[in-house]
Amino acid sequence: MSLRAKIVLILAAVVVAYAALDHFVQRTLVFRSFVELEETAGREDLERAKNAIDSEIKHLASDCAASAASEETYSFAAEGNERALEESILPQAFRGREHSLLFVCDTRGKVVWGRARDLITRKEIKLRDFPARELAASHPLMTSADRPHVSGILLTEAGPLLVSAEPIIGSTPDAPSRGTLILGRPLDDPLVHRLADRSGVNFKVWALDSGKVPPDVAEVLNEVATSTGPLLRAIDDEHLVAYDKSDDVRGLPALLLRAEIDRDITAIGTRAVRYALTSTIAAGVLLLLILLKLLQRAVLQPIAALTSHAVEIARSEDFTRRIGSDRPDEIGVLAREFDGLIGRVEQSRADLVKVARAAGMSEVATGVLHNVGNVLNSVNVSANLVSERVRRSASGDLTKVVRALEPHEGNLSAFLANDPKGKHLLPLLRSIGDELEAERARVQAEVKVMCEGIEHVKVLVQAQQGYAGRSGVMEVVSVAEQVESALNFTAQAFQSNTGVAIEREYDPLPSCRIDRHRLMEILVNIIQNARQATVGAGSSPRIVLRVRDVGAGRVRIEVQDNGVGIPPENLTRIFTHGFTTKQNGHGFGLHASANGAHEMGGELTAHSDGPEKGAVFALEFPVQAPAPVEVSA
Q: How many helices (H) and strands (E) does the chain have?
A: 17, 16
> Which phi and psi angles does 463 have, rounded to 5°?
-65, -40
> What local confidence, expressed as pLDDT, does residue 467 receive?
41
> What local confidence, expressed as pLDDT, does residue 539 receive?
67
Percent of the chain with pLDDT over 90: 15
Amino acid residing at 342: I
Indicate if the pLDDT at residue 465 is higher than 60.
no
> What local confidence, expressed as pLDDT, does residue 472 receive?
59
> What local confidence, expressed as pLDDT, does residue 632 receive?
41
Q: Whole-angstrom Cα distance, residue 424 to residue 432?
A: 12
* Highest mean pLDDT pick, 137-141, 170-174, 415-419, 443-447: 137-141
> What local confidence, expressed as pLDDT, does residue 427 receive?
74
> Which phi and psi angles does 277 have, rounded to 5°?
-65, -45
Work out the pLDDT band at 608, boundaries 50, 70, 90.
very high
| Mean of pLDDT values over 405-413 | 71
Task: List, edge to edge, every strand of the sheet that includes 180-186.
Answer: 111-116, 101-105, 180-186, 159-167, 150-156
Indicate if the pLDDT at residue 394 is higher than 70.
no
Q: Whole-angstrom Cα distance, residue 433 to residue 398?
A: 9
> What local confidence, expressed as pLDDT, does residue 469 receive?
43
Residues 527-560 have pLDDT tens digits of 888 888 887 666 688 899 999 999 888 999 999 9
Q: Quick one: which of 599, 595, 598, 577 has its CA closest to 587? A: 577
Task: Specify the range with the lowest mean pLDDT, choosing from 60-69, 77-86, 302-311.
Answer: 77-86
Quick one: how far is CA 114 from the chain centroid?
Answer: 89
Please state, rounded to an integer, the average pLDDT across all residues of the chain.
Answer: 80
Q: Which residues does residue 253 pair with via DSSP β-bridges, in sequence order?
A: 247
Work out the pLDDT band at 497, boundaries 50, 70, 90.
low
Indicate if the pLDDT at residue 137 is higher than 90.
no
* DSSP H or E stretch at residue 485: helix 479-493
Q: What is the dihedral of CA 300, 302, 306, 312, to 10 degrees?
A: 90
Indicate if the pLDDT at residue 631 is higher than 80.
no
Q: Whole-angstrom Cα distance, residue 369 to residue 354?
A: 22
Q: Whole-angstrom Cα distance, residue 167 to residue 150?
A: 9
Residues 11-29 have pLDDT tens digits of 888 888 888 888 888 888 8
Indicate if the pLDDT at residue 126 is higher than 80.
yes
Indicate if the pLDDT at residue 524 is higher than 50.
yes
> What local confidence, expressed as pLDDT, does residue 630 receive?
47
Higher pLDDT, 435 or 17: 17
> CATH assignment of 472-627, given 3.40.630.30, 2.60.120.200, 3.30.565.10, 3.40.50.2300?
3.30.565.10
Work out the pLDDT band at 581, boundaries 50, 70, 90.
confident
Work out the pLDDT band at 451, boundaries 50, 70, 90.
confident
> What local confidence, expressed as pLDDT, does residue 629 receive?
46
This prediction has a pTM of: 0.47
Work out the pLDDT band at 178, boundaries 50, 70, 90.
confident
Could you tell me the residue ranges of all domains in the chain? 29-222+234-262, 319-470, 472-627
Q: Do domains 29-222+234-262 and 472-627 have the same CATH topology?
A: no
Q: Whole-angstrom Cα distance, residue 403 to residue 34?
A: 146
Q: Whole-angstrom Cα distance, residue 231 to residue 243?
A: 5
> What local confidence, expressed as pLDDT, does residue 389 receive?
62
Residues 247-297 have pLDDT tens digits of 999 888 888 999 998 888 888 888 888 888 888 888 888 888 888 888 888
Residue 601 near residue 622, CB atoms below 8 Å: yes
Q: Whole-angstrom Cα distance, residue 135 to residue 142?
A: 8
* Highest mean pLDDT pick, 5-19, 308-322, 583-597: 5-19
Q: Whole-angstrom Cα distance, residue 184 to residue 94?
A: 10
With respect to CATH, is domain 29-222+234-262 assigned 3.40.605.10?
no
Distances from the Cα of 514 to the Cα of 482, 533, 628, angstroms: 11, 28, 16
